Structure 1
Amino acid sequence: MRLIFLTLPLLMITSSAWAADPGVLTSADELYAKRADPASVTALEALLKEQLKATPDDFELVWRSARILQWQADGATEPKRKMVLGRQTWDQGDKAAKLSPQRVEGYYYAACGIGAYSQAVGIMKALGDGLEGKFNERLETAIKLDATYERGGPWVVKGRYYYELPWPKRDLGKSATFYNKAIARFPESLRAHYYLAETLLKDGKAQAANDAIQKVLKGNTTYDASEAQRVQKWATKVNADIQEELK
């Protein structure tokens, strides 16, 4: 019994030593906010790498590592790079989920990572490799823990899941329902409107798709400039497709 009490202070000291400095986390978040700038991404990567080398099991650092990896995977256009970044996001997300299973971040980014990885290798191959179950397991946990995280991110990812599935699994109605959940709570989310426009266009609802894409093109970007500007850039092609359909 005496040994147990002697051990407890050591455990408490060790645990507190793993906690990231609040100033470091603030700096990481400030750099992430400017992630449209490659120099900010490079600085953020260097900061996280240095801090994780010292405290590799710090949850706050691990999930932030998954977050910037997901940003990079989301924007990657070359399949191999998207696959590598998606896998890294998945791994860091899973690590975060194990470190703090009561928090949403790990499950959310792990699901996003699996999604990016699946896009890179091809949805049919991903389904054949059993990734659908792994994706949904993590995403459903994220939805249960906090569906409003990242402006309804878990709902948006679920909507995209129903959009990207091949026929006959695809369900455009369910896809739109999840986007609309996010939009009802976070009308500023340009990504939710953008994905909704793509879903409506594929569902043969070009006029409704046009209404959605105009909200993206004319939307306010101040809520998250890096995110909003990326989505608006993507929206130009979808808008052209919609205008062609409306002719």
Structure 2
Amino acid sequence: MNAAGGQGQALLELQGVDAHYGPVQALRGVDLRVDKGEIVSLIGANGAGKTTLLSAIFGAPRISAGRILHRGEDISRLPTNKVAGRGIALVPEGRQIYQEMSVEENLMMGTTAIGMERYEEDRDAMFDLFPRLKERRNQVAGTMSGGEQQMLAVARAMMARPELILFDEPSLGLAPLVVKRIFEVLAEIAAMGKTIFLVEQNANLALRLSHRAYVMVTGRIQMSGASAALLDNADVRNAYLGVH
């Protein structure tokens, strides 16, 4: 754990990254790093550019300036499948599971980047992590609750055996008890040795889980530091934690 940041090996690094959607600039000179073994969160209001940042790592949109590095290698121009093949997985906003497929078929789709050789072993590990998915293994995924679908989205990403997992708003639209369980699962995944980069509107939960954090405002990183310090920062508390 590198709570202070910058101490370990940079697994992911963004250097001066700009990104546009047509004429609209969504990211502006973003500098950010995630070290191996860390949980790093990115907080900010709706429309701040958080999801764009995650999408840009996978090349959609392509960045218009700067570099994205994975283990020191520039991946800014790699096709999406090549990025995934490097051991980076995304749990997207809104879950985006295959609605018409069964739970187990969704898990199979998660192995696309690595093949099916260890499918049964990894599927059983996900069933241990999410017993509800085992109960629902043959159920059509789109008929499950939002919380169950979020668990499936996480499990599907884990099936690719990633070392770095990007989470985009995992608490969105879920009941408080389900959100609590999802964040417990994130901690369990980190304890497995995975590195986590978490984009989350629930700043309180994100800062309590992560080691370090960045605050994004209109496409720029406005503030960064140890999560505990940001929790105590008056500006952060006023803007994102509802504390005055």
Q: Report the TM-score when normalising by structure 1.
A: 0.31
Higher RCO structure, 1 or 2 (CA under 8 Å, sep 6+): 2
Q: Report the TM-score when normalising by structure 2.
A: 0.31
More strand by share: 2
More helix by share: 1
Greater C-alpha Rg? 1
